[in-house]
Amino acid sequence: MKKLILAGAVSMLLAACGSDSDDQSTGKVSLAMSDAPVDGLKQVCVAFDNITVHHTGGSEASWGTTSFAADQSSASCVPDGLSIPEDANGNPEFMVIDLLDYQGSNALQVLSDEVLLAGQYTQMRLSVLENGSYSDGTPYSHVVTDTDAVEGIRVPSGELKLDGFTVEADSTQAYTIEFDLRKSMVLNANGYQLKPRGVRVVDNTAVAAIGGTVDASLCSGDLSDAFVYVYSLANGGQFGDLGSENEALASAAVDPVTGQYEIGYLPLDTYDLNLACNGNEDDPEQAGDTLIIDTTLLDQILGTDGLTVNF
C-alpha cells in the first residue's frame, strides 16, 4: 500500500449564487473547454466532431464542426505538413484541442451564443474520434508522453456522456467542460483511455479559481512530487486517494521551482484543501492509498476572482 503524505488542511468558503429558469422560451449557450493536468504527458489532443444535448422534454440539439470555433484547433496536434481533413463543402471534419494548453482558469471557447430551448438538460454528449489517423499514422486523438511516444486515445462507446445543465430564458449562459485529466485519462492494459469520470460541466457564473504558493519546507525542500487536493465537505473530513469513495474533487501539481499552483472552474462551495508531498504516487485507478494529514495553519484571502491559499 502506498502512502501519501499530506500537509495542511483548511476549509474555505466560496459564496454561492443561484438563478431562475424558464423552460417556455429560448436562451443562448456558450461552451468552452479547460483542464487540470495529468502526470507523464506532454500533450493530450482530443479530436471531436459533434456535441449533443438532451432536454427533459425529450428534444435534442446537436452541433457539428460548422458551429465550432474550428479555426482555434491546436496546430500542435496536427502533424507538420498535414491538415485536418475536410468534407465536400470544405469544412473541417473535426476540431482538435490540446487540453494541456488550457489549464487552471484558462479555457478555449468552442461554441458561442447557440440558441436552445429554455429549461433543464439532462445530459451532454461529446463525440470523440478514437479511430482514424493522419496520413503519417498519427491518430486524430492522441497523447504525447514525456518520452515523446505518440499513443492513440480510446473512449468508451466513442463519446463522453457528461452532466446536465440549465438554460434560462432570454439570457446567455456560459458553461465550461472541465477535464480533470488525473481522473479521466488513465493508462491500463488497453492503452490510454479517456473516461467521463472527472469531467464536469460547470456554470461560469458559479465557479472560482483557487491558487497560491507552497513553501518547499513543508515537503522537506522538494516540491517535485507535490500536489494540492481539493475535497468536498460532503466527504465529512475523509480525505481519500484518487479512485476511492472519498476522493478529491480536483487536484493540481505544484510547480517544483516557484511553488505555485492553480485549480480553476471549481463550483462555488466550501472545501477542504490539502497538500500531498508525494501525490505522484496516487494511482487514479487504484483505491486504498493511505493519506496522512498534518494540519498546518494556512493564510487565506478571499478575492473577487477566487481564493489565494499560501501553505
DSSP track, 219-233:
GTT--TT-EEEEEEG
Name which residue leads in pLDDT, 257 or 269.
257
Give pLDDT, residue 155.
93
Confidence of residue 209 (pLDDT cuts 50, 70, 90): confident
Q: What is the mean pLDDT of residues 136-161?
A: 94
Query: Each residue of 213-247: pLDDT tens digit?
Result: 988 988 888 999 888 888 888 788 788 888 888 88
Looking at the chain, the whole-number percentage of residues with pLDDT higher than 90 is 51
Model confidence at 163: pLDDT above 60: yes
Q: For residue 87, how far is the Cα from the chain centroid?
A: 30
Instruction: State the pairing for strand pair 185-188/159-162.
Output: unpaired
DSSP track, 42-96:
EEEEEEEEEEEEEETTS-EEEE-TTTS-GGGS-GGGS-TT----B-TTS-BS-EE
**CA gap 303, 301 in Å, rounded:** 6
**CA gap 6, 290 in Å, rounded:** 10
Give pLDDT, residue 238.
80
Q: How far apart are the first and last CA of the chain?
A: 27
**245 — phi, psi (to 5°)?**
-65, -30
Give pLDDT, residue 290.
61
Confidence of residue 134 (pLDDT cuts 50, 70, 90): very high
Burial-class residue 132 by CB neighbours within 10 Å (0-12, 13-18, 19+): middle
User: What is the overall mean pLDDT for the chain?
Assistant: 84
Model confidence at 56: pLDDT above 60: yes
Contact 199/184 with Cβ under 8 angstroms? Answer: yes
Hey, which bits of 73-171 come out as E strands? 95-98, 108-117, 119-128, 142-145, 150-154, 159-162, 165-167
